[in-house]
Amino acid sequence: MIDMPAGGLGHFLGKLPFASRGDLGLDRRKVTQCALSRICGVCGESLSRPVAFLGSTEEAGRNAFHFPPTHLACAELAVATWGSDHGVLGQGHPPASWALVTTSGFEYVRPEAEWVDRRAVFEPNSVIEERALTP
């Protein structure tokens, strides 16, 4: 499978996603690293296409996600593992239902000084598939 990380999924179970800092939210340096180096926000390994984005249904509706891109399998595992935890996947209050979007590319929008919400934004270019995931 091309959307699986090379090391398999088991090696990060019990840890936090690569781009997370637990209940403190997202690690900004790692979020930037994911965006610029095209690496997965969950396992930290190189991404292939399509990439997946995980967020609230509101983020999917705006086409603007805060958690960095992931492998599809990693997004599914992340919701199963951390989907009910506060903060781990970039949501202060985890949504009852997560939105999973797959795309072949994305724009990375750096936060600007005047933004109230200073988190970076990821905008999928064209959505291949969107579906709901529940933890």
| Residues lying near Zn ion in the complex (CB under 5 A) | 5, 40, 42-43, 71, 74
Beta-carbon contacts of residue 114 (< 8 Å; ≥ 6 apart): none
Q: Residue 2: in which H helix or E strand, if any? A: none
Residue number with CB closer to Zn ion (104 or 111): 104
Q: Tell me how far, at minimum, the Cβ of 70 lies from Zn ion, in Å.
A: 5
| Cis, peptide link before residue 111, omega less than 30° from 0 | no
Residue number with CB closer to Zn ion (66 or 71): 71
Which residue of this chain has its Cβ atom nearest to Zn ion in the complex? 40
The identity of residue 10, as a single letter, is G
Q: How many residues does the chain have?
A: 135
Q: Tell me how far, at minimum, the Cβ of 53 lies from Zn ion, in Å.
A: 12
Q: Tell me how far, at minimum, the Cβ of 117 lies from Zn ion, in Å.
A: 25
